[in-house]
């Protein structure tokens, strides 16, 4: 019995991706400008990590923490932004209340109110207050972490590829970073420490996809030196298309499950990652690769193995 391999994309696919470059570049430029405008005008919906507030850990006397009931109780107290989540075992939970007007006295009053409302069912192993100064330090540390990580990635790209390839990868990576910031500003998703993790994960995912595409382009350019750069890019992307679709689809479906069943705590992370998977795949194909055309890359400029017969070219498309 012969088992046929699953082919999501046929081996002879010859889709002309490069014909869309005159649409994708202006489209991405407009989205990037809008993202910057949104960030400057609307800002980010910072969570308690960055705005400050009160953290209270709860331990259920009954052995099971009823998160929904705790959340309902706190919402009825009109304390502003409140986050309730489980951690550890079923008896443990934590709640965060946003920074109150009135400074330390108001924060202490919040703790007293919470204890009074919940002390019949819970004990309070830990109570912490995150003031404005601490939250400002978290903002600074988070920003530095993103900048250093992205700078390190770009430094790696510059030495990993020829400079034309590196420029394309750098532009694609920055494109994804800017659009993700715009996504947070537009959707008003809460931006906290998990959101920083989402941004760094998106950068890593996008970089991985871009490196795969660019590696295949460089490999094909060393084999077929007489083919036009546009046809070369189309063929290279088509040969990696099956891998790209399978990876992106599997990741996206896992994130859909996290959005549906992961709860409120990781909702921002999961939604941002879903956006990042889509935009990262898009930028690898329609941003990083077409940059090589505008930089004047020629296939004959790359030395390597003896040229092989050219494969069938995709149909010529109006550029």
Domains held by the chain: number: 2
Per the domain annotation, does 307 fall within a domain? no
Question: What domain range is 170 assigned to?
Answer: 17-44+135-301
Per the domain annotation, does 311 fall within a domain? no
Q: What is the pLDDT of residue 319?
A: 42
DSSP state of 287: I
Q: What is the pLDDT of residue 207?
A: 83
Per the domain annotation, does 309 fall within a domain? no
Least confident of 18-27, 88-97, 174-183, 202-211: 88-97
The better pLDDT of the pair 139, 216 is held by: 216
Per the domain annotation, does 310 fall within a domain? no
117 and 224 share a domain? no
240-274 pLDDT tens trace = 888 888 888 888 999 898 888 876 667 888 899 99
The better pLDDT of the pair 261, 184 is held by: 184
58 and 167 share a domain? no
How far is residue 204's CA from residue 282's CA, in Å, rounded to a whole number? Answer: 15
235 and 122 share a domain? no
Per the domain annotation, does 233 fall within a domain? yes
85 and 221 share a domain? no
User: In the structure, what pLDDT confidence band is assigned to residue 180 with cuts at 50, 70 and 90?
Assistant: very high
User: In the structure, what pLDDT confidence band is assigned to residue 6 with cuts at 50, 70 and 90?
Assistant: low
Q: Which residue has the tokens 């990580």?
A: 149
User: Domain ends where: 97, 130, 163?
Assistant: 130
User: Domain ends where: 113, 130, 147?
Assistant: 130
165 and 267 share a domain? yes
The better pLDDT of the pair 107, 69 is held by: 69
200 and 224 share a domain? yes
Q: What is the pLDDT of residue 36?
A: 93
User: In the structure, what pLDDT confidence band is assigned to residue 2 with cuts at 50, 70 and 90?
Assistant: low
How far is residue 111's CA from residue 104's CA, in Å, rounded to a whole number? Answer: 11
The alpha helices in 188-228, defined as continuous H runs, are 193-223
DSSP SS3 for 85: strand
Query: Does position 290 have pLDDT exceeding 60, yes or no?
Result: yes
Rounded mean pLDDT, 169-197: 87
Q: What is the pLDDT of residue 17?
A: 80
How far is residue 111's CA from residue 133's CA, in Å, rounded to a whole number? Answer: 19
69 and 179 share a domain? no
Per the domain annotation, does 178 fall within a domain? yes
The better pLDDT of the pair 148, 10 is held by: 148
**CATH at 35:** 1.20.1640.10
Query: Does position 130 have pLDDT exceeding 60, yes or no?
Result: yes
Per the domain annotation, does 312 fall within a domain? no
252 and 149 share a domain? yes
User: Domain ends where: 74, 100, 130?
Assistant: 130
Rounded mean pLDDT, 38-65: 81
242 and 117 share a domain? no
Per the domain annotation, does 6 fall within a domain? no
User: In the structure, what pLDDT confidence band is assigned to residue 34 with cuts at 50, 70 and 90?
Assistant: very high
Share of the chain above pLDDT 70, in %: 82
The better pLDDT of the pair 113, 46 is held by: 113
Q: Let me know if 292 is exposed, middle or buried by CB neighbors in 10 A (0-12, 13-18, 19+).
A: buried
86 and 65 in contact (C-beta within 8 Å)? yes
**CATH at 65:** 3.30.70.3400
78 and 174 share a domain? no
93 and 200 share a domain? no
User: In the structure, what pLDDT confidence band is assigned to residue 307 with cuts at 50, 70 and 90?
Assistant: very low
124 and 155 share a domain? no
Q: What is the pLDDT of residue 3?
A: 47
236 and 220 in contact (C-beta within 8 Å)? yes
Query: Does position 226 have pLDDT exceeding 80, yes or no?
Result: no
Closest to 148 in 3D by CA, of 196, 210, 209: 196
Structure tokens at 141: 């540390």
């Amino acid at each position: 019995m012969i088992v046929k391999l699953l082919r999501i994309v046929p081996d002879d696919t010859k889709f002309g991706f490069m014909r869309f470059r005159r649409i994708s570049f202006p489209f991405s430029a407009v989205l990037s400008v809008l993202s910057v405008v949104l960030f400057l005008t609307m800002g980010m919906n910072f969570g308690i990590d960055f705005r400050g507030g009160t953290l209270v850990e709860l331990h259920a006397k009954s052995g099971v923490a009823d998160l929904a009931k705790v959340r309902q109780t706190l919402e009825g107290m009109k304390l502003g932004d409140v986050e309730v989540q489980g951690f550890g075992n079923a008896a443990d939970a934590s709640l965060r209340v946003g920074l109150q007007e009135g400074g330390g006295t108001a924060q202490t009053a919040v703790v007293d109110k919470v204890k009074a409302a919940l002390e019949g069912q819970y004990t309070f192993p830990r109570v912490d207050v995150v003031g404005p100064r601490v939250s400002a330090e978290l903002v600074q540390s988070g920003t530095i972490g993103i900048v250093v990580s992205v700078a390190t990635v770009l430094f790696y790209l510059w030495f990993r590829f020829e400079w034309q390839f590196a420029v394309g990868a750098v532009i694609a990576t920055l494109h994804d970073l800017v659009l993700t910031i715009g996504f947070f500003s537009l959707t008003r998703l809460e931006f906290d420490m998990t959101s920083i993790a989402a941004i760094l994960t998106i950068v890593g995912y996008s970089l991985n996809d871009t490196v795969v595409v660019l590696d295949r382009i460089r490999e094909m350019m060393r084999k077929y030196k007489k083919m036009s750069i546009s046809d070369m890019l189309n063929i290279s992307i088509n040969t990696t298309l099956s891998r790209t679709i399978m990876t992106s689809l599997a990741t996206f479906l896992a994130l859909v499950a996290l959005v549906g069943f992961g709860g409120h705590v990781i909702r921002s992370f999961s939604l941002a990652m879903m956006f990042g998977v889509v935009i990262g795949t898009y930028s690898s194909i329609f941003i990083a690769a077409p940059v090589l055309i505008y930089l004047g890359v020629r296939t004959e400029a790359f030395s390597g193995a003896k040229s092989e017969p050219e494969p069938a070219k995709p149909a010529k498309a109006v550029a």
